[in-house]
Structure 1
């Protein structure tokens, strides 16, 4: 098994260009890549990626295939014309022979299918980093040998650590400096806000002028005993001796204000003003990585921010959670410690238990973890379908002993893997379960995204006899027309509305609207998060058919048919 922490150390100096036109996919993949690479430039399509490639140096280019303006194969072709040895990895949902042959002909180093599985991308990163580091090591020794015997040693050394555009020390110089630190320093990373937009609107030539302009402003506003570096793209760094928090805050606030008030006049008469986001880390170990974590956090919050690194940043927490829970999840899958808990669903007309929802839990070292702790991580590391299969098998086994109906949660990833129809067919026969007893709960996002492949599979499952329920309806951008076209059997109203409907008129109105809509399309309604008598009375008042929540029973490891 590849040690992710060790791999992250090996990849810290590798520069990456990631090209993807879908923002949601780009954000999720950037988070994964950010676990390994400290500097990643993201491009929103092939043309943007091409422009960035011409203005920066990258060790690896990850690119989607299908994109506007220029697709990933054309981008790869252009890149290979410039540098045949450039490492390019295709990340795409297309896996047809035609695309594979074209990618092979272009000489790409890898082909990763969406949705991305962490194991597969880690294996690709390991292979690439090994090759890149070996090449860099060879280059390093060759350059040192040449420097020792060449008369122009000083010139070569300066070129290696100096950026031509700004005349400032570059990323390599900063890394070298940080590696040799013997005492704590403050590292300040300055990122130009909206720089991609500047390049798009005003052109890359003017974008370079913005870089030079900011470089000059920073050079003119330095503290004593500091060094300034240009890291490429839209990023600068300042290394400073340790000073008081108060003095540092005053300096950074003043620096931001001076940059925001400065005006760059372009040759065409346009004037540019802008802001910067600043991240700060201190110490002598991993300070650049920590500063980049703080920078990502700041950018998630907005623009023109100052963010100091600490261990409680959201991104840092997520990375720790992935490192902590990945082995727990994998061990639970291997040992069969993914188990269903059962929560009854009560028929409000008969006041009896009508069905149960099967909810996933992981048991590890006498601790029971709910999906809140592991589902997102399981999705990131590519094992969510394995959990779903275990839940199907164990739930079928439990309900083979009685006549209750029961519901199982499935995800869009399960649908994309295209295994459900065959797997359900096998399990129905194995446990002699009638599919009319089984309700498949899907999030409403499947309906709103309009992924036809997923919707076709849901129709096939309905034809097999399964019922379909939309879970957490109202939590996302609810698409009533799309849900109507799906012919669902049940709609489960999001619990955030149900639990507040007794005292909040807006929540009550939303629940009433969803209930009316559900009845109009012939779908029965299940109210989740019914936690007290007042809420249950409101639920019954609206004629909602079913209730589920702690008012009746918590999820339990055994099927308990009384409340």
Structure 2
């Protein structure tokens, strides 16, 4: 395998209702050598500062969609497995961002409703009018939209209510507080209540222990990802999981992009 290139790992997203894998999040790493990977916290800040993140982000989007199309063909199921891709602030600010997404959809042939674009809460609040416009255009394409790291951006609930989105993703720092007793539980519970009011689904990041998972189930959280289920792994590992257990991604009762019933 060539060195000094970006590679994708994938972390499963699991239904807390029945334990089925309903999707994956695509996460970029940089392969420095055959045996050494560089992780995002070491190169994403530089990529953001230099503007390279725009090109890297487009590569991630295209590669993630291509990989998901292959899995969907090899392991067909209903509902289909989905892929979540992070969108950087610079990417989101590009005047042709929606056109870029549209081209990737056409090039890869991925079903738009099986692609979920994740923007952070802080990015969504930079220019709320622009955010609403772009998210609306993305949903017209049929793409799912998620607000990532929810709870860390101090957004106005009035603005949040106006954003066209499919899911909230609770930041791992709040899930970690489930270990701290009732106060931590109340924070996650408040986010869950907000999501129910907005009729959207919730994914909890950073589910590391069985206690986290049980608390999230009790609070009515829909989906989770974290080391309790799996670390981010290479595509071959995901392929192996799907091949070994055809029911793994097919028994969930709903996609994480499906809206809650009114």
Which residue of 23, 26, 40 corresponds with 1:358? 26
Q: Deviations over 1:257-301 (max 9, x none)?
A: xxxxxxxxxxxxxxxxxxxxxxxxxxxxxxxxxxxxxxxxxxxxx
> Which residue of the partner structure matches residue 144 of structure 2?
467
Shift of residue 343, structure 1, vs aligned partner: 0.3
> Which residue of the partner structure matches residue 118 of structure 2?
441
> Which residue of the partner structure matches residue 398 of structure 1?
67
2:21 equivalent to 1:344: no
Which residue of 429, 438, 453 corresponds with 2:130? 453
Contact 1:448 1:477 in 2 (8 A): no
2:174 equivalent to 1:506: no
Contact 2:139 2:164 in 1 (8 A): no
Which residue of 32, 48, 54 corresponds with 1:379? 48
CA distance in 1, matches of 2:4, 2:130: 31
Q: How many pairs are equivalent?
A: 230
Q: How does 1:110-509 map to 2 (within 5 A)?
A: 337-365=5-33, 366-403=35-72, 404-509=81-186
Q: Secondary structure at the match of 1:346?
A: strand
Q: Secondary structure at the match of 2:168?
A: strand
Shift of residue 379, structure 1, vs aligned partner: 0.7
> Which residue of the partner structure matches residue 231 of structure 2?
554
CA distance in 2, matches of 1:447, 1:396: 23
Q: Deviations over 1:162-193 (max 9, x none)?
A: xxxxxxxxxxxxxxxxxxxxxxxxxxxxxxxx
The range that moved more, 445-454 or 483-492, is 445-454
Contact 1:412 1:454 in 2 (8 A): no
Q: Secondary structure at the match of 2:67?
A: helix
User: For the structure 1 residues 362 and 474, does the alpha-carbon distance in structure 2 shift closer, same or farther, using more than 3 Å as the test?
Assistant: same
Q: Deviations over 1:47-104 (max 9, x none)?
A: xxxxxxxxxxxxxxxxxxxxxxxxxxxxxxxxxxxxxxxxxxxxxxxxxxxxxxxxxx
Contact 1:447 1:479 in 2 (8 A): no
User: For the structure 1 residues 336 and 465, does the alpha-carbon distance in structure 2 shift closer, same or farther, using more than 3 Å as the test?
Assistant: farther
Shift of residue 458, structure 1, vs aligned partner: 1.7
CA distance in 2, matches of 1:457, 1:488: 11
Q: Secondary structure at the match of 2:21?
A: strand
Shift of residue 349, structure 1, vs aligned partner: 1.3
> Which residue of the partner structure matches residue 303 of structure 1?
none
Contact 1:363 1:369 in 2 (8 A): yes
RMSD across aligned C-alpha pairs, in angstroms?
Answer: 1.8
Higher relative CO (Cα under 8 Å, sequence separation at least 6) belongs to 2
Q: Deviations over 1:142-175 (max 9, x none)?
A: xxxxxxxxxxxxxxxxxxxxxxxxxxxxxxxxxx
User: For the structure 1 residues 509 and 427, does the alpha-carbon distance in structure 2 shift closer, same or farther, using more than 3 Å as the test?
Assistant: same
2:199 equivalent to 1:531: no
- Alignment gaps of 5+ in structure 2: 73-80, 249-262
CA distance in 2, matches of 1:556, 1:418: 33
CA distance in 2, matches of 1:476, 1:451: 13
The range that moved more, 389-398 or 410-419, is 410-419
CA distance in 2, matches of 1:487, 1:517: 15
Contact 2:66 2:110 in 1 (8 A): no
Shift of residue 414, structure 1, vs aligned partner: 0.6
Shift of residue 451, structure 1, vs aligned partner: 4.1
Q: Deviations over 1:4-49 (max 9, x none)?
A: xxxxxxxxxxxxxxxxxxxxxxxxxxxxxxxxxxxxxxxxxxxxxx
| TM-score, length basis structure 1 | 0.39
CA distance in 1, matches of 2:203, 2:178: 14
Contact 2:174 2:188 in 1 (8 A): yes
Shift of residue 336, structure 1, vs aligned partner: 7.5
CA distance in 2, matches of 1:416, 1:422: 12
CA distance in 2, matches of 1:535, 1:376: 30
| TM-score, length basis structure 2 | 0.83
